[in-house]
Amino acid sequence: MKADLFIKTLSESAGVSLFTGVPDSLLGPFCDCLRAEDAPVSHLTAPNEGSAVAIACGHHLATDRLACVYMQNSGIGNAVNPILSLAHPDVYGIPLLLVVGWRGAPGQKDEPQHAAQGRLTVRLLESLELTVHAFGPQTTLDELKAWLADSRKLFAQGRSVALVVEKGAIEPSGPSAPHNPYELPREEAIGTVLEAAAPDDLFVSTTGKISRELFELRKARGEENRDFLTVGSMGHSSMIALAVALRTPRRVWCLDGDGAFLMHMGGAALIGRLGPKNLVHVALDNAAHDSVGGMPTAAPGADIAAIATASGYGRAFSVTDREGLAKALSLALASDGPTMIAAKVALGSRPDLGRPTLTPRQNKENFMKLIKP
């Protein structure tokens, strides 16, 4: 089904008047349509999935109308608390329409971090007492309209419904043209960090293309895997890096993304309070969820370096080019941390960018061997 028809049907048949959520590659055409300049619907990209549920609840309180919350199935965990303790019929009874990208669906080949999540997606949503419909490539417009007509009865009772979207179910209805004004390629920025780091420094990298580029840069440098590549758990790499930094005298680098940093920004306050002197936090900021299609984050309205300073980091730098990054790295290495380097980077990656060729378990074991004194 074309993305614009899908959105129009949700608006007209279910009564959706706001779309909010966190983008997903399976929902890419849907997300592209929502962010188009001429999109006929109201839309807000949320910092995390739980926030999207809260936005949807606030929208309902203010308008008595329904909001659609979209997410990848890996984001269900972030949404569980507000679904159960805020929107559930036993509490406020605020109806929600969830559109969930079904990564790792049974029978679909996917990345390791999506296997368990895909297998458990429907059961997990049903355990939250949501009515669930699987929306696949063969689903017809009439079937969708019938589901939404039945759902209106549930919405009137303060209940919620989830459409679990299979790969290929939503097709593009127009071109996608993500853009930002920055020129420093993210992979080049990561390479600059590697050049500045000492051979025995430890790296923790966030999910998505940052970890993929780090892995490939190590290969290009003739180095074995030595980094913890956080293939899932978006937004939590800084807390992994913090815990490692508190248990080793070696320097620890966290390679983060702007979307991941903003998703669980409270982690910055804990880093600032605990003040690990050996932690350097590098936020590669392209103002977009680049790994899942390029939908904008809230980063254009946020000064990540200033947030770090206000959170208690010892030093914070904001850079826009390779020279500025190299200078910030030199200053960071000359003083105690925690240090934040917020680097503005370009969108996109090499078309031939690969994926790690080792399993997450192998990655974990390699990192743990490296960290042993």
Beta bridge partners, 279, equal 252
- Backbone Cα Rg of the chain: 21
Q: What is the percentage of the chain residues whose pLDDT exceeds 70?
A: 98
Check residue 176 and give its pLDDT: 65
Mean pLDDT of the chain: 92
Give the span between the Cα atoms of 285 and 343, in whole angstroms: 6
- Tell how far CA 185 is from the center of its chain: 20
- Where are the chain's structural domains? 3-165, 186-371
Closest CA to 240 of 276, 187, 193: 276
pLDDT at 298 > cutoff 90: no
Q: What is the pLDDT of residue 76?
A: 96
Confidence band for 71, pLDDT divided at 50, 70 and 90:
very high
E strand or H helix that includes residue 217: helix 209-220
pLDDT on residue 323: 96
Residue 371 confidence (pLDDT): 87
CB atoms within 10 A of CB 158: 17
- Contact between 245 and 252 (Cβ < 8 Å): yes
- Cis peptide bond N-terminal to 338, omega within 30: yes
CATH of span 186-371: 3.40.50.970
**Rounded-to-integer distance, Cα 133 and Cα 162, Å:** 6
Can you read off the two tokens belonging to residue 123? 């059961």
> Sorting pLDDT into bands at 50, 70 and 90, what band is 111?
confident
Residue with tokens 């913890």: 228
Model confidence at 126, pLDDT cuts 50, 70, 90, reads very high
- In three-state secondary structure terms, 204 is strand
Scanning the structure block, which residue is given the tokens 């589901």?
147
pLDDT of residue 354 exceeding 90? no
- Classify the C-alpha dihedral 136-290-270-363 as positive or negative: positive
Q: Which of 332, 356, 338, 344 is nearest to 198 (CA)?
A: 332
Confidence of residue 177 (pLDDT cuts 50, 70, 90): low
- What's the CA gap between 18 and 163, in Å, rounded? 16
* Contact of 359 with 234, CB cutoff 8 Å: no
Q: Does residue 203 sit in helix, strand or coil?
A: strand
Q: 309 exposed, middle or buried (CB, 10 Å; 0-12, 13-18, 19+)?
A: middle
Q: One fold for both 3-165 and 186-371?
A: yes
Q: How confident is the model at residue 178 (pLDDT cuts 50, 70, 90)?
A: low
Is residue 110's pLDDT more than 80? no
Q: Is the pTM of this model over 0.95?
A: no
Mean pLDDT of 47-57: 95
Half-sphere exposure for 70 (CA within 13 Å, toward CB): 25
Position 133 pLDDT exceeds 70? yes
- Overall fold of domain 3-165: Rossmann fold (3.40.50)
